[in-house]
Amino acid sequence: MSKQELADGIFWNAPSDKAPDFVLGNVSIAPAKFMPWLEQQQTNDKGYVRLQVLMSKAGRPYLKLDTYEPKQGGSATPPARGRAIEIDAEAFGNDESIPF
């Protein structure tokens, strides 16, 4: 297994016990640390730097650089373990009922 590269300056935290069910977690970003780290990363063919949300053995979520690259002639996407969702904020318009 190759060495994991943790994302510097960005942190995923599990929601508090009092959070509603639709809250999946919180992300904290330290721009002074995160931006220099992000600028050093190579983007994929769509221009993204991908991160994985993982759970440590101690039960704490953390973010790791996703270095997955499909083999030549193989599938363009990694094997599915969950669903990736890309949200188009403009598609929601000005709907005040959406909690974000």
* Residues 56/42, Cβ–Cβ less than 8 Å: no
* Residues 76/68, Cβ–Cβ less than 8 Å: no
| Residue 68 confidence (pLDDT) | 85
Long-range contacts, stretch 74-78, CB < 8 angstroms, 24+ apart: none
| Residue 86 confidence (pLDDT) | 53
pLDDT per residue of the chain (100 residues) written in tens, 0 to 9: 557 889 999 999 989 999 999 999 999 999 999 999 999 999 988 999 999 999 999 988 889 999 888 777 655 555 555 555 555 555 445 555 555 4
* Rounded distance between C-alpha atoms, residue 22 and residue 94, angstroms: 19
* Angle made by CA atoms 29, 89, 80, in degrees to the nearest 5: 75
* Residues 14/63, Cβ–Cβ less than 8 Å: no
Measured between alpha carbons, how far apart are the two ends of the chain, in Å? 38
| Residue 52 confidence (pLDDT) | 92
